[in-house]
A = this chain, B = another copy of it.
Amino acid sequence: MDNSKTIVTHEKVESNNKSGINYTTVVEQFGCQLIDNELISKVKQVVKKDTLHPVLENNIFFAHRDFDALMDKCLHEKKNNFYIYTGRGPSSTNLHLGHMIPFMTAKYLQDIFDVPVVIQITDDEKYYQTNSNIPFEQYRQYAFENIKDIIACGFNPKKTYIFLNSIQNTHFSHNSVKIQKRIKLQHFKNTFGFTDDDNIGKVSFPSYQMAPSFASSFPILLHPPTDDNPQLDSFYNPISSFFGQIINPDAHKEYLKQLSNMKCLIIAAVDQDPYFRTLRDIAPKINEPKPIVIYSRFIGSLQGKDKKMSASVNNSSIFLTDTSKQVKKKINGAFSGGQETLELHRQLGGNPDVDVATQYIEFFSGDTEMVAKVKEDFRSGQLLSGELKKKCIEIVNNILDEHRQNREKITNELISEFMSIRSLI
């Protein structure tokens, strides 16, 4: 009998099992699908590759909604007519490795699918959530620093748009109005646990996390004028868009129809499902396509995979700003799946399923074959815990070094480029 208990909500992630969250339970509870081998094969077919990054191949992204249908569509149409949407809540300047997973994955998928990425910075959300008197401006400061860390992941500036919720474009506002109309207060109370003691912003915020899931929130970026649709020029400016809709409603409808062919692939940790599950119910009611989603596991804390890495829990995390010495110390002290003595380890082998360093290698090495070998050797007792940790320290420090080098090169001009509204396709 499995006594393990897993709690995953939009604000809490916990398990009483050292192997970590039971993701099969989560999938059943949320009603989404597991990413299986058949789906991984389809992805390989679409991107014409024999192996994929461990984030896919090793099921770090383990669940989905309609990702299989999206791959079928890409195969059928012989083009990848979708964009990727992910985001970040700027609660501090202190990003840890876990925060990098959606961005690392979005960048990888941008490369292999050659598609646009939009990244939402929810400065409003974090301001609404805090109980302290931190002014809104402080969250924009965090946003500014976080944007640098996101760009440092290597996104293609020609195909990536980063935006703050407090700098909303018109089409985005328009869609959040439509979403807010379709959701009753009671529903959000049930879904997110809001009470009458919460502020209005907390209650309205989810609609702003939902709105970027429709291409019609980003017409200039995702459906720029072409020779085929010169008349659509008029829809790109907020005011002329308003006139266009009034004066030529048929062209407006046709334009929305064309935009709805551009699907959205959301990349998120699985605790974000309540947002997108709700949105998928609303989408048909406002004539928008249901967004597609893939969900990731959580990266374990240094103390073990039963808790997720958290910036607010002391010593649970490796931060992007940690020195190589700090990283070494932290990983050497991380929860190990190895045996207590060398003799026992050689004899019984280690347990990679609970081993924290193994998981970090899995998430960050980018090398599916190597991950398989590390796990096998550790399980057989051939690879010692110290050796495995050494490998992990090297991988993590290489990633952090590269990140720091990338980040130092980022100018305000480059940030402006990422934030400016222009065609991404």
Contacts and interface: CB of A to CB of B under 8 A. Distances in A.
Interface of A: 124, 127-128, 136-137, 140-141, 144, 164-168, 170, 173-174, 177-186, 188-189, 194-201, 203-204, 207, 238-240, 242-243, 245-247, 249, 252, 412, 415-416, 419-420
Contact of A246 (B144, B199, B204, B419): B144
B167 A170 contact: yes
A171 B335 CA distance: 48
Contact of A243 (B124, B180, B416): B416
A183 B204 contact: no
Contact of A188 (B136, B141, B200): B200
Report the 10 A-B pairs with minimum CB-CB distance, sorted nearest first: A180-B201, A204-B204, A186-B196, A180-B200, A167-B238, A185-B196, A144-B246, A124-B177, A183-B200, A181-B201
A412 B247 contact: yes
Contact of A196 (B141, B178, B189): B189
24 contacts: A127-B181, A136-B174, A136-B178, A137-B245, A141-B246, A144-B243, A166-B173, A166-B174, A167-B173, A168-B173, A180-B200, A183-B200, A184-B200, A185-B198, A185-B199, A185-B200, A185-B203, A186-B196, A188-B200, A200-B203, A204-B204, A243-B412, A243-B415, A243-B416
B204 A185 contact: no
Contacts of A207: 200
Contacts of A140: 242, 245-246
B174 A199 contact: no
How many copies make up the complex? 2
B239 A167 contact: yes
Contacts of A166: 170, 173-174, 177
A136 B181 contact: yes
Nearest to A144: B246
A178 B135 CA distance: 9
A255 to B, nearest CB: 12
Given A196-B189, A239-B419, A246-B144, A136 B184 contact: no
A173 B174 CA distance: 13
Contacts of A197: 184-186
Nearest to A128: B181
A249 B138 CA distance: 11
A246 B146 CA distance: 13
A120 B207 CA distance: 22
Given A166-B173, A194-B185, A197-B184, A137 B247 contact: no
Contacts of A144: 242-243, 246
A168 B238 CA distance: 9
A240 B420 CA distance: 10
A189 B184 CA distance: 14
Contacts of A184: 196-200
A252 B144 CA distance: 16
Nearest to A239: B419
Given A181-B200, A185-B199, A240-B416, 19 more contacts: A124-B177, A136-B174, A140-B245, A144-B242, A144-B246, A168-B173, A177-B201, A180-B204, A183-B200, A184-B196, A184-B197, A184-B200, A185-B194, A186-B197, A203-B204, A239-B416, A242-B419, A243-B412, A247-B412
Q: Which of A164, A194, A242 has the most CB of B within 10 A?
A: A242
Contacts of A178: 136
Nearest to A178: B136
Contacts of A185: 185, 194-200, 203
A286 to B, nearest CB: 8
Contacts of A168: 168, 170, 173
A209 to B, nearest CB: 13
